[in-house]
Amino acid sequence: MDTFEERLATQPHDAFFKETFSDPGTATAFFCQYLPAALTTQLDWSSLRQVQGSFVTRALQQLHSDLLFSVKARDQECLLYVLFEHQTSVDTQMPLRMLNYASAVLLRHSDLHPGQPLPPVLPVLFHQGPNRWTVSPCFEDLFHIPGTLRDILLPYLPKFRHALVDLSQEDPKNTVRDSYLRMAMEAMKRARMQEAQDYLDWLKKQDISTEERLLKLLLYLFQADKTLDVEAVVLKVDGNPTLQEKIMSTAAALIAKGKAEGKAEGEATGKLRLLQKMMGVPVATDQDLAGLSAVEIDQRFEALEREYEAQFRGK
C-alpha cells in the first residue's frame, strides 16, 4: 500500500481526508459536531471502529473517497458512511449515488451475515468543493412527478436522504469544538481556496498536540496549494519558532525527495522546477530549458540550491 506521502503527491485532498478521518478520535469529533445530538448521545463512541473497504466505483475515484465506520447504539450496530467529495461542480445525481453506496454497504453486510437483520446506515456527504452545495439531499426530490400523481407514486419510491457537511459554507476555525478537527477542516477549506499562507498565519497561534500532526498538516498544504511561497510563509510565522523550523525542514525534505526522484528518473528538470516552486521563484518553462543538456540544467539546479541553502539554512 502507498504511504501517506506518496498518496499526497497524486491526490492530496483524498489522502489527507483518509489519513485524518481514519483516526477514531477525529472521526468521533466529526460525527458529534455534525450529526444531530439526539442521535450522537445514543451512540457508544468507545465502540467506534473503521470498517475496511471502499464502495466508490473506479470511474469516480478521482472525485470521491469514502470511509465506513461501525458504532454501537445499546445492542444495535449502526454504520456511519462518509463520502468525501471535492469536484469543482455540484453532482445533481448525488442522492442516487449515495443510495447506491448505502445499498452496496448493506449488500456486503447481508453477504457476510446471511439471514440476520440489516444494520441502519447513516450516509454523510462531506463536500470540499469551492462552490455551495445546491442539490437536495432527499432522494425523492430527484423525481419530477406532476400533480396528484406524486401523492400516489411516492409511497412506492425509496424514501432516503443523506446528511450534508458543506465545507464551503462552514467556518471551522470559529465553530468546530475539537481542536485538531478544527485545524484539519480549516486546512482543507483554505487549501481548496488556495489560501494556505493565510491559514499558516492563523495556525501559528494554535496549540498543536503532536509534531506528527503538524507535519501531516504541512505536507498536505505544500502538496494541495502550489501557490505556497516557502520564504513568505517562514517570515509570516516568525512568532512561532517551532512552526517556522518545521516548515523549513518539511520544505527541505520535499526538495530532497524531488532530487532523489529526479535522479532516479533522469529528469533534471523535475529537480529544478520543484526547488523553484519551494522558493517561490518563477518556474522554468519548456521554452526556457529548450536546447539545454541535462548537465546544464543540473548546473542551474545546483546554483539555485546554493541560494536556497544560504536563504533558509542560515536562518
- Kindly state whether residues 256 and 164 are assigned to the same domain: no
Instruction: Say if 91 falls within a structural domain.
Output: yes
Domain boundaries, position 303: 229-313
Instruction: Say if 42 falls within a structural domain.
Output: yes
CA distance 24 to 48: 7
Judge whether 24 and 48 are in contact, CB under 8 Å. yes
Give the chain's end-to-end CA distance (angstroms, integer): 37
Positive or negative: CA dihedral 71, 120, 172, 89: positive
50, 121, 37: which is closest to 79 by C-alpha? 121
Tell me the average pLDDT of the chain.
Answer: 85
Question: ∠3-201-33 over CA atoms, to 5°?
Answer: 65
Amino acid at 233: V
- Kindly state whether residues 42 and 158 are assigned to the same domain: yes
- The larger pLDDT score, comparing residue 197 to residue 67, is at 67
What domain count does the chain have?
2
Domain end residue (candidates: 120, 135, 169):
169
pLDDT at 136: 96
pLDDT tens-digit readout, 47-68? 999 999 988 877 676 667 899 9
- The larger pLDDT score, comparing residue 59 to residue 264, is at 59
pLDDT at 266: 43
What is the arithmetic mean of pLDDT over 3-10? 82
Instruction: Say if 20 falls within a structural domain.
Output: no
pLDDT tens-digit readout, 115-138? 999 999 999 999 998 889 999 999
